[in-house]
């Protein structure tokens, strides 16, 4: 073949890669921004799952989309129902990050089918909560192989009794991750597995015990995007699920790891709230450290949890924290109160936490 022909073929191949893959000017695109609130629900309001729509809310590249539920309907997540899910799609099949709530499983798949007919192949769970894993078994039946930290698998299988004393529901074994890996404290930030799909390179990076003991962040190298799930949030106060092995100090550690893994322009996708860059994590980090120090000081003076809750220690942050409900504040302060003393150790993804009043 003559030299020009090789050049021509090379140009086509290169155009193919750049067209589908690398971060392109104009991305990310916000299609539908989450709500800002404040949201109020009448007494006894029950989330009307039939009214919630699952839509493409952000586009990270031509073949990497974010899905989220509509605002103002889900009492647990009023800014946008459920937890963000992501789909990387193309000829190699679909890779999904999280599966949204069980109640909207069909709608989530229908939303994916608006942009690709390729089979669901790979699923990763960023943490165990049902707004991120609820539709696991539904998507496993579509053909998805589910990956997660081993702790997440344990948390899912060994669910704790509910706060109201009701026994935990039996785990849906069809939705339990089949492929697991562990966080290695000697190599923080090291991907557990890397996928080369649809001209994207995707890293599943296990995190230290932070939001839970089974957190994973997902890095899309070409799109310059990291899904950072729930150890950071900007709608409502920080939530460390200590019973599932999380801790506020671990969340600070997680933020510090993002500082190392992300570039200044990397788009960070929290499970809830608005998209951010790593600089946006710093005031959050500072708030967690400040509140933890104040709560620890009060507990060391012998103050009770009720005293500490009454001190309204989040007040300096209410102005800048969307979704600053009393429930969200009290949960944060209660976590800090427990963490002022040493937390019980993580065993199989769980901590034996005292019951909250
Ligand atoms: Zn979540």
For residue 166, the CA-to-ligand 1 centroid distance in Å is 22
Domains for the chain: give ranges and CATH numbers: 29-285 (3.60.15.10)
Tens digits of residue pLDDT in 271-307: 999 999 999 999 999 999 999 999 999 999 999 999 9
- How far from the centroid of its chain's Cα atoms is residue 43's Cα? 29
Secondary structure (3-state) at 255: helix
pLDDT at 9: 43
Q: How far is the CA of 328 from the centre of ligand 1 (A)?
A: 14
Could you tell me the distance, in angstroms and rounded to a whole number, from the CA of residue 151 to the centre of ligand 1? 17
CA of 271 to the centre of ligand 1 (A): 5
Return d(Cα 298, Cα 31) in angstroms, integer: 45
Angle between helix 248-261 and 326-339 (nearest 10):
100
pLDDT of residue 8: 44
Q: Is there a contact between 168 and 128 (Cβ–Cβ < 8 Å)?
A: no
Q: What is the pLDDT of residue 23?
A: 64
Q: For residue 290, report the distance from its CA to the centre of ligand 1, in Å.
A: 24
The SS3 of residue 284 is helix
Q: Name the residue among 220, 216, 133 with its Cα closest to residue 177.
A: 133
Chunked mean pLDDT (size 10), the chain, 357 residues: 44 41 79 94 95 98 97 95 98 98 98 98 97 98 98 90 77 96 98 97 98 98 97 97 97 98 96 97 98 98 98 96 94 97 94 81
pLDDT in tens, 235-278: 999 999 999 999 999 999 999 999 999 999 999 999 999 999 99
Q: Do the Cβ atoms of 150 and 348 come closer than 8 Å?
A: no
Quote the tokens at residue 317.
């942050």
| Cα 127 to ligand 1 centre (Å) | 8
**How far away, in angstroms, is 344 Cα from ligand 1 center?**
23
For residues 242 and 229, give the distance between their C-alpha atoms in angstroms, rounded to a whole number.
16
How far is Cα 50 from Cα 330, in angstroms, rounded to an integer? 31
| pLDDT score recorded for residue 88 | 98
Task: Report the predicted TM-score, pTM, of the whole model to 2 decimal places.
Answer: 0.92
């Amino acid at each position: 073949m003559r030299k020009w022909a090789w050049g021509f073929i090379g140009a086509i191949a290169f155009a193919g890669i750049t067209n589908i893959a690398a971060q392109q000017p104009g991305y990310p695109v916000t299609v539908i921004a989450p709500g800002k609130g404040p949201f109020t629900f009448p007494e006894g309001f029950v989330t009307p799952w039939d009214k919630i729509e699952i839509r493409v809310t952000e586009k990270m590249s031509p073949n990497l989309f974010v899905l989220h539920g509509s605002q103002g309907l889900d009492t647990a997540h009023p800014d946008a129902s459920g937890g963000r899910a992501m789909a990387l799609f193309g000829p190699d099949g679909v890779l999904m990050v999280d599966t949204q709530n069980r109640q909207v499983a069909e709608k989530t798949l229908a939303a994916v089918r608006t942009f690709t007919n390729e089979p669901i192949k790979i699923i990763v769970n960023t943490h165990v909560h049902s707004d991120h894993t609820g539709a696991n078994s539904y998507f496993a039946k579509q053909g998805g192989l589910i990956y997660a930290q081993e702790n997440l698998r344990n948390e899912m299988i060994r669910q704790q009794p509910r706060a109201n004393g009701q026994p935990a529901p039996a785990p849906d074994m069809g939705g339990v991750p089949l492929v697991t890996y562990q966080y290695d404290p000697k190599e923080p930030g090291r991907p557990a597995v890397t996928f080369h799909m649809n001209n994207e390179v995707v890293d599943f990076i296990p995190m230290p015990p932070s939001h839970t003991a089974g957190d994973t962040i997902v890095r899309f190298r070409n799109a310059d995007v990291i899904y950072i799930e729930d150890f950071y949030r900007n709608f409502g106060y920080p939530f460390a699920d200590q019973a599932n092995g999380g801790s506020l100090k671990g969340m600070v550690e997680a933020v510090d790891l993002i500082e190392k893994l992300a570039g200044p322009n990397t788009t960070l996708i929290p499970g809830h709230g608005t998209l951010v860059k790593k600089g946006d994590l710093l005031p959050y980090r500072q708030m967690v450290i400040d509140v933890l120090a104040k709560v620890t000081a009060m507990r060391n003076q012998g103050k009770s949890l009720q005293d500490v809750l009454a001190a309204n220690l989040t007040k300096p942050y209410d102005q800048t924290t969307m979704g600053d409900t009393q429930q969200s504040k009290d949960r944060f302060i209660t976590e800090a109160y427990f963490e002022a003393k040493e937390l019980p150790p993580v065993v199989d993804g769980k901590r034996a936490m005292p019951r909250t009043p």
